[in-house]
Every structure is written in structure tokens, then in C-alpha cells.
């Protein structure tokens, strides 16, 4: 015994083990696409007669034959391999025809082998046919008691059709399934033109075709896999959104990605819903039956089905990646191959099968022809043959006598040339019989001596001659072999081809949730108790002022709407809480609901909000490139203001970000975007206001977010700031502003005098702090210049009265003063407090909401421009005890006629005293 080091022995033994696993267990052969265990199962079942045209036999019988003769690795591994070949969701073309419980796509285990029955499927015959005609090599089995094929003489590229997966030592394979018809067509095309490129083949085979269907996203991964043998293919489930009942939609899944367990998939979805990683799902159930797969995922009313489906694709196996690794054994060596490489390897192998089969058939035909030549000689010399046989003492002597005699070769020579027989040698016109021919003559039955039988012998000899010539042509000509291969492939195609099951889409796989949301304007509403919703803006049609409005939301208890604004679905919205924290969310992620719906609690949308309430909401510009040049100005109820860069709030985590330091009794009332040089306008509930310019001297940019800011306006006792807006700064003297206002108001009165006869308008009272009107005129050019830069402010009282005023009516002063009067409440019926002051544009509308939940949309052009202290006209006819709580502009161009079917009969501006109450608008 030679001593060996442990290192050397481990290296040698592990290498042998690795090669055994690679070659004999884990990797398929490129020629027949089978691993040894699958090959042995198919061969053993054929040898036992379990073919497709025979009755089913117990699976245990087939497993026992395979284990006892060819595969001594345990019955479990053999049965598992056989079960997989019988599963329609695992194989593109089934190779085993099973009867009984062979598992399910839910991952259910198959029944024990003693309960199931199986036989070879029809397609398996195309892998096994001609195996007994010397088409492939055989090798001894594990105990050398039997012989088994090294490979099956496959008639179609099974490796590509059914794919394969396996893990060897240091390497693995994962080959997807393909459409059998497409693969055979590609093989035929490559036979016809071996110079075809990959692009040419991909026109025939666009990509894998999985038995479970689904949708492949993109083609780059497919091309990489087909070109190099490696690539990643993204498979997505086939899903549709249906309305299962009124106002309730559901996602219907009818196909799932390949090798995904349906039951595990549903469990994963349920876990994500419980963990609130996916929101908007109310129920999930499996309605699959014999007709097909159907998973129903019901969506909540306030959720967007497209977004929920996209989240399911992102977080579950409804969208999975199939890593293609086309590694197979080629001439016994592991090789990474692309699509063309695999087809070329199959064509080369199949050509060799056809060549070997032709040689085998030629030998058989020649043997038969050789025997027929002997029969022809015997029949031609029947009397001599009979006499010779009768004279012989035994069969051996008769055989020897037949072989020793020289027979006349006159009639035999053409026959020998016809069948290319070299077994008989003609010398001096005579020929000797071979031993095979002598035995054939001795075995000749007397009935063959009749005239009819003699003709049959000659006819058979002619047929053998034709067959031999055909086989010789196949052996000698490669184009002829390709023609035979083409005909056989067409025959197989007619049997196993089927329509494509997997769709290939050019849509990118990574879609953001936002890309699925249709762009549009939304009205976002927030209630005092912290409920939020969004409603499409087109739901609210314009009405004339003085109407009764429509129901905006169903209030619960004494909950009222406190804030509303309109924004684009793709805009960011900043939420500022009473505790001074900022949160950020996209508009489309806010719950969508009808005008009468309650909405969803903000604490559910912003889990880290806690006991705080949202006190300020700011829709940000949709174009984020504008954020760099924008600042945020904060205003609190106590009159403090602060300026920060908008970019300071670009990254806000889900738990929020400290936005402003607030005193215990203070709260944020507004946040607005601004630029250097613009004016800050603050208005209070007790009808005071102040306007000051944004400069580094008056309101510097704060570096941090934890400051409480500086004083913006000095408040009287009991007063508080309730409006913040940013105005453009216009350089104009006091006299220029006074002259412009005098000229502009005179022109407006002249334009509207005909339509406002008899209107009761409160006197435009001058207060002590009002600036005296100057007498200095302005040029027409200066008037036009000031008119182009003019901004109009709308002020609304708590009882629904309001008026528009020119921004020139509000002088620019220093920060921190007591401000000037904004509205005078000489008549208590017109209100006692200012609800809001905001800039409005001509041709736009405003919406007003009351504490009773009613909402009205009014064109601002119907509101007269007056002095800033005027009490205004009726905008919203409120009921007794009802007050306006929120006013916000509608900035969208609305093509709808303001004169709706529910509008008042007259569009004359009034204070509500000259007309009866308008009818309650319908919800249509």
C-alpha cells in the first residue's frame, strides 16, 4: 500500500465527487436536455412497456424498475423527478402522463407512489424512438448487470423546450422553458441557413415561454441570455382590475410567474397587509378551479388599484426575476451556451443520430438482400437443391454441401449489383453460397416455392434495393441528412406545438407608483378632527355667488372642514403640525373620496403625528428645479414670522422633521413660498393687516429650523393671525398708488354701473390710519404699468360677505407694526371677524366651506373691487348659526359655464336682500 497525504487524497476524492455530481446528477445534456435520472426514468418505462398507447401502471412499479436497474439513489429522488415531468405547470411539454394526485401549483405534495399511476406521454416517444437502432451509445449500469443509454436520440431540442435547473459543485444551471413550435421553427431555419444571426433567430424565438404564462418585461435580459447564456428575465403576473360590486374594485390575478408557489404568494400578501407595508387591500381569496387560476384581491374604496398592484409587484413574487444560466454538458464538458449554440449542438447530434440509424438500417437491409439473393439461387435451382438436401445425412452436412457447390451466377450478378452486396464472389460465372444464405435455404418453407411466392421474393428484393440506395444516399450526402431531419422535425412540430403562453412586453419593469396615477387637479380637504381626502376638481362646478352651495362632506358629530386647497396629483405637499414638525407626502397618496365622504384620519396617513394636529399645509411647486431659488416663510398665530430655504425641507423622513420652534400657546397658521424682494402679507381675525418687504434687513434667512422667528405684526389682545400670503413688490409712491386707485376705481364703477343699479354697498369709510388721497396725476404709461403689476386680494367675513381690493390699497410698512384696517364691520349682519384674505386672479373661482360642511364655488369676477375697509357683498348665503371656516382659490381654467342649471336667475351682484333663497344645488 502506497502512503498518500491527506491533502492529496481530499483533493483527488473531492474532484472525483465534483465531476460525478456535475456529469451524473445535476447538469443536463445539451443533446436530449435530460439529466441522468430523467433519462433513466424514460428509458426504464419504455423497456417495461409503459408507453402512451398502453394502460396506466402504478408509479411504484416504474420507480422500482428505475432504482433496481439504473439509479440506486433512493426512491424519493426518482419519484420526485417523475412527478415533475408530469406537472403541466413545471414542464412546457409533459414527458410523463400521470393519473392521480401529482401535486399542485399551491405546492401541495403529490400522493404516494403506490396511489398514483403513470405512463409515458406522447412527446416522450420522440425522445426514445430509434433507440434500439444503434443511434446512441450505451454504457453498463451501476452493477454492470444492464446497459443504459448515455443519451436519448431526441428528435427535438428538449433542453430549450422544457428547460432545466440544477445545482452542481461550483456551478449551477437554470434554463427557462420555451415554446416548442418556436424552437422547432428556429431549428428548421438554422438548418436551412446556418449563417443566421442571433437577431434572425430572435425574430422566431422572441423569448422564453413559461407553462404558467405571465408577462416578461423588457427584452434586454432575453437578448443577453440568448447571446451569452446568462441574463435576468423579469416575469410579472397577469392581473386585471375589475369592479366586483358597486364602488368596489378588485385585482384579479389569472397567471403567476414561473415556479412561484400560489399558496405562499397569498400568505406573503397577507403578511404585508398586516404589517401595513401594503395598504389599500381589504380582502384576498383564491377562486381558482378547474377552468383556471383566479386570485381576487379586493381594494378599499379610498385606495388606488393601480398603486396597490404596483406595490404587489414590488414587494411580492407577483413580479419575480428568472436568472437565466444556460449551462449544459456538451461532449461531457460543462459549457455555457446561447440560443444558437444550443440549437447548433442539437443539429450536430441529431445529424449523427440519423447517420448512425442509416448505417444500422443499411446493414439490416443488406443482410436481408443477401438472404434474398440466396433464396433466388435456390428457387432457380430447386431440383438440385432438393436432391442435395435429401442426400445429406443431417442439416450441417446439407448446409456444407450447399456452400461447396458452385451455382450458376448468370441471374445473380445483376441482383448483387442492385443491392451492392459484396458477400457473394462470382468467379468463372459461378457463385458460392454463404453460410447465412445456406441457412436461409434450409429454413425455406415449401409454400415459398409456388409461383406467387417467387414473385414476392423478387418484389421484396427490389424494395430492399431501393431502400439500400436511399440509405446510401443519406450516408453519403449531408444535405440529404438535413432533409430527413427537417421532415422529422415537422412531424414532431405537428404533434407538440402549442400557442405561446407568456407575453413579452416592452414596458419597463420598474414603474413608480406615481407613473400609474393619471395627472389631474384635486381638491384636498382637511377637517378639524384630522380627516383628509382628495376629490377631483371637476366634481365641483362653478355657481353664481349667493347660491346655496352643495354638500361637501358628511360630518360626524361637530367635526368641520378647516382647510381646503387644490393641487396637482404629482405635487409634493408639506404638512406642518401643531408641534412644529413637517411631513411630506404626494397628493396622489392622499385618500381619494367623493365630496360627501368622510375621508381618512391623518394619524393613519402620518403615523408619527401622534396627538398633534395639522395646522398648515403647503403644496410645493411640481417642478423641483424651482426649489433651489425658493424660500419658505412661516407665520404663527401670535404674529411671528421666519424665513428658510425650501431646500432645507427636501429630505423629510417618514417620522417628520422639526420645522419651527413654537411656544406652548402658539401655532403655525400658514407657510408660503417666497423669493427675495417680495412682500409678506399678514391678516388677522380682527381685521388688521400688515405688508412688509422680504429683505435680509427685514426678514433674514434663518440657517436652522428650531428658531421661533421674529415678530411680523403686533397684535391687539385677543387677536390672532389667520392669513399669510406673499405678494409681488411694486415700487410706487403714495401719490402714485392713490392716483391709480382713484382712476382704476372710477373705471370699474363705470363698467359695472349698469349691472349694479340698486345694489346696497356699505360706504367706503376712511379710517384714521388711512392714507390721504393725493391729487398728483399719473401718466397713461405709468397707469398701464401699474395695472399690469396689480394684484387683487379677496377678503371674506365669517358670515359669507366679502369684497375684492387692490393690493395697492395696502401700503408697505416695516415689520413688527400694528398694521392697518382690513375690513370694517359696521353692520353686524355682515360678520364680526375676517376668515381669510387671499390673492385672486381674474377669471378664476374661489371655494368657501362652512362649519356645517357646505361648500360653494364662486367666480371672483362676480365680486366687486372695493376699498379695503368696505364690508362687501354676499358671497355665500349661510344659515342661522352657520359660519364660513375656510376660503381657498381654484387656479384651474374651468371651461364649464358658470351659469349652471342651479344658478340664480339673475347674475346681479347683491347683498342677499333682493332675491329669494336660491334652490339647493343637486349633487349631479
* Residues tagged active-site: 115
- 792 DSSP 8-state letter: E
CB 541 within 8 A of CB 595: no
Q: For residue 795, how many other CB atoms are within 10 A of its CB?
A: 28
Which neighbouring-strand residues pair with 701?
Answer: 643
Radius of gyration of the chain (CA): 46
What are the Cα distances from residue 906, in Å, to 13, 549, 878?
101, 16, 19
Assigned C-alpha cell, 64: 422500482
CB 802 within 8 A of CB 756: no
Alpha helices in 131-172, H assignment, sequence order:
158-162
CB 34 within 8 A of CB 102: no
- Coil/strand/helix, residue 705: coil
Cα 803–808–809 angle (5° rounding)? 55
CB 56 within 8 A of CB 117: yes
**3-state SS track over 450-490:** CHHHHHHHHHHHHHHHHHHHHHHHHHHCHHHHHHHHHHHHH
CB 481 within 8 A of CB 351: yes
Q: How far apart are CA 438 and CA 450, in angstroms?
A: 20
Assigned C-alpha cell, 382: 430447386
CB 657 within 8 A of CB 711: no
Assigned C-alpha cell, 189: 431555419
- Coil/strand/helix, residue 69: helix
Q: At what angle do helices 180-192 and 339-380 cross, to 10 degrees?
A: 70
- Coil/strand/helix, residue 575: strand
Distance in Å from the first CA to the final CA of the chain: 100
- Coil/strand/helix, residue 528: coil
Burial class of 360 by CB neighbour count within 10 A (0 to 12, 13 to 18, 19+): middle
φ/ψ of residue 193, rounded to 5: -145, 95
How far is C-alpha 109 from the geometric centre of its chain's CA atoms? 30
Alpha helices in 540-654, H assignment, sequence order:
602-605
Residue bearing cell 421553427:
185
CB 526 within 8 A of CB 562: yes
**3-state SS track over 651-668:** CCCCCCEECCCCCCCCCE
Assigned C-alpha cell, 417: 449489383
- 425 DSSP 8-state letter: -
Amino acid at each position: 500500500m502506497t502512503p498518500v497525504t491527506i491533502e492529496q487524497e481530499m483533493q483527488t476524492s473531492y474532484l472525483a465527487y465534483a465531476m460525478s455530481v456535475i456529469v451524473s446528477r445535476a447538469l443536463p445534456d445539451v443533446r436530449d436536455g435530460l439529466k441522468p435520472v430523467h433519462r433513466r426514468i424514460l428509458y426504464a418505462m419504455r423497456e417495461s412497456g409503459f408507453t402512451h398507447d398502453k394502460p396506466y401502471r402504478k408509479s411504484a412499479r416504474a420507480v422500482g424498475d428505475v432504482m433496481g436497474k439504473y439509479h440506486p439513489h433512493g426512491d424519493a429522488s426518482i419519484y420526485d423527478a417523475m412527478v415533475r415531468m408530469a406537472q403541466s405547470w413545471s414542464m412546457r411539454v409533459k414527458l410523463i402522463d400521470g393519473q392521480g394526485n401529482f401535486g399542485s401549483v399551491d405546492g401541495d405534495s403529490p400522493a404516494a407512489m403506490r396511489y398514483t399511476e403513470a405512463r409515458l406521454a406522447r412527446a416522450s416517444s420522440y425522445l426514445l424512438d430509434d433507440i434500439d437502432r444503434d443511434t446512441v451509445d450505451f454504457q453498463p449500469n451501476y452493477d454492470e448487470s444492464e446497459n443504459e443509454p448515455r443519451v436519448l436520440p431526441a428528435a427535438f431540442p428538449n433542453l430549450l423546450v422544457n428547460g432545466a435547473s440544477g445545482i452542481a459543485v461550483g456551478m449551477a444551471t437554470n434554463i427557462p422553458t420555451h415554446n416548442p413550435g418556436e424552437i422547432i421553427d428556429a431549428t428548421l431555419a438554422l438548418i436551412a441557413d446556418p449563417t443566421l444571426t442571433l437577431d434572425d433567430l430572435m425574430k422566431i424565438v422572441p423569448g422564453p415561454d413559461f407553462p404558467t404564462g405571465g408577462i416578461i418585461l423588457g427584452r434586454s435580459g432575453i437578448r443577453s441570455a440568448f447571446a451569452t447564456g446568462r441574463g435576468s428575465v423579469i416575469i410579472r403576473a397577469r392581473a386585471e382590475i375589475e369592479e366586483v360590486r358597486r364602488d368596489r374594485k378588485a385585482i384579479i390575478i389569472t397567471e403567476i410567474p414561473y415556479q412561484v408557489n400560489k399558496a405562499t404568494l397569498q400568505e406573503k400578501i397577507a403578511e404585508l397587509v398586516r404589517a401595513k407595508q401594503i395598504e389599500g387591500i381589504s380582502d384576498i381569496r383564491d377562486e381558482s378551479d378547474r377552468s383556471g387560476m383566479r386570485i381576487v384581491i379586493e381594494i378599499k374604496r379610498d385606495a388606488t388599484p393601480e398603486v396597490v398592484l404596483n406595490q404587489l409587484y414590488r414587494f411580492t413574487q407577483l413580479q419575480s426575476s428568472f436568472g437565466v444560466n444556460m449551462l449544459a454538458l456538451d461532449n461531457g464538458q460543462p459549457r455555457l451556451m446561447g440560443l444558437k449554440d444550443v440549437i447548433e449542438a442539437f443539429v450536430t447530434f441529431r445529424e449523427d443520430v440519423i447517420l448512425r440509424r442509416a448505417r444500422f438500417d443499411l446493414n439490416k437491409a443488406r443482410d436481408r438482400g443477401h438472404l434474398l439473393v440466396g433464396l433466388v439461387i435456390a428457387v432457380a435451382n430447386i431440383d438440385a437443391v432438393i436432391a442435395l438436401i435429401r442426400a445429406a445425412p443431417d442439416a450441417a452436412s446439407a448446409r456444407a454441401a450447399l456452400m461447396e457447390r458452385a451455382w450458376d451466377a448468370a441471374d445473380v450478378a445483376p441482383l448483387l449489383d442492385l443491392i451492392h452486396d459484396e458477400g457473394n464472389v462470382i468467379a468463372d460465372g459461378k457463385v458460392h453460397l454463404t453460410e447465412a444464405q445456406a441457412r436461409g435455404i434450409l429454413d425455406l418453407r415449401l409454400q415459398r416455392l409456388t409461383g406467387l411466392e417467387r414473385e414476392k421474393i423478387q418484389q421484396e428484393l427490389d424494395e430492399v434495393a431501393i431502400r439500400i440506395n436511399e440509405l446510401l444516399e443519406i450516408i453519403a450526402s449531408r444535405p440529404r441528412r438535413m432533409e430527413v431531419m427537417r421532415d422529422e422535425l415537422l412531424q414532431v412540430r405537428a404533434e407538440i406545438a402549442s400557442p405561446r403562453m407568456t407575453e413579452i412586453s416592452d414596458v419597463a419593469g420598474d414603474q413608480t407608483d406615481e407613473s400609474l396615477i393619471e395627472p389631474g387637479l384635486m381638491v384636498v380637504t382637511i377637517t378639524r378632527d384630522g380627516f383628509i381626502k382628495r376629490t377631483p376638481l371637476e366634481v365641483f362646478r362653478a355657481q353664481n355667488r349667493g347660491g346655496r352651495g352643495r354638500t361637501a362632506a358628511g360630518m360626524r358629530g361637530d367635526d368641520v372642514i378647516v382647510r381646503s386647497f387644490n393641487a396637482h396629483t404629482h405635487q409634493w405637499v408639506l404638512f406642518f403640525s401643531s408641534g412644529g414638525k413637517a411631513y411630506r407626502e404626494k397628493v396622489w397618496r392622499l385618500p381619494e373620496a367623493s365630496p360627501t365622504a368622510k375621508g381618512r384620519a391623518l394619524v393613519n396617513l402620518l403615523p408619527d403625528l401622534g396627538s398633534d394636529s395639522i395646522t398648515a399645509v403647503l403644496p410645493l411647486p411640481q417642478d423641483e428645479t424651482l426649489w433651489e431659488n425658493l424660500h419658505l416663510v412661516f407665520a404663527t398665530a401670535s404674529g411671528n414670522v421666519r424665513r428658510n430655504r425650501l431646500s432645507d425641507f427636501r429630505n423629510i423622513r417618514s417620522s417628520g422633521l422639526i420645522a419651527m420652534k413654537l411656544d406652548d400657546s402658539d401655532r403655525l397658521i400658514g407657510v408660503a413660498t417666497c423669493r427675495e424682494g417680495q412682500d409678506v402679507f399678514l391678516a388677522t381675525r380682527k381685521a388688521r393687516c400688515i405688508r412688509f418687504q422680504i429683505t435680509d434687513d427685514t426678514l433674514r434667512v434663518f440657517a436652522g429650523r428650531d428658531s421661533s422667528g421674529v415678530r411680523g405684526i403686533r397684535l391687539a389682545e385677543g387677536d390672532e393671525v389667520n392669513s399669510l400670503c406673499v405678494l409681488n413688490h411694486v415700487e410706487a409712491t403714495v401719490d402714485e398708488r392713490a392716483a391709480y386707485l382713484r382712476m382704476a376705481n372710477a373705471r370699474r364703477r363705470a363698467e359695472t354701473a349698469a349691472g349694479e343699479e340698486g345694489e346696497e354697498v356699505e360706504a367706503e369709510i376712511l379710517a384714521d390710519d388711512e392714507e390721504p388721497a393725493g391729487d398728483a396725476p399719473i401718466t397713461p404709461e405709468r397707469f398701464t404699468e401699474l395695472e399690469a403689476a396689480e394684484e387683487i386680494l379677496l377678503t371674506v367675513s365669517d358670515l359669507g360677505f366679502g369684497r375684492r381690493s387692490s393690493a395697492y390699497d395696502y401700503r408697505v410698512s416695516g415689520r413688527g407694526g400694528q398694521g392697518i384696517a382690513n375690513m370694517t364691520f359696521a353692520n353686524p349682519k355682515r360678520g364680526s371677524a375676517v376668515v381669510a384674505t387671499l390673492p385672486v386672479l381674474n377669471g378664476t373661482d374661489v371655494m368657501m366651506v362652512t362649519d356645517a360642511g357646505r361648500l360653494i364655488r364662486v367666480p371672483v369676477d362676480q365680486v366687486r373691487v372695493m376699498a379695503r375697509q368696505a364690508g362687501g357683498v354676499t358671497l355665500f348665503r349661510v344659515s342661522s348659526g352657520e359660519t364660513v371656516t375656510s376660503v381657498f382659490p381654484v387656479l384651474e381654467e374651468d371651461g364649464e359655464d358658470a351659469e349652471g342649471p342651479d344658478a340664480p336667475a339673475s347674475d346681479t351682484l347683491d347683498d342677499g336682500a333682493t332675491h329669494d333663497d336660491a334652490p339647493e344645488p343637486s349633487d349631479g
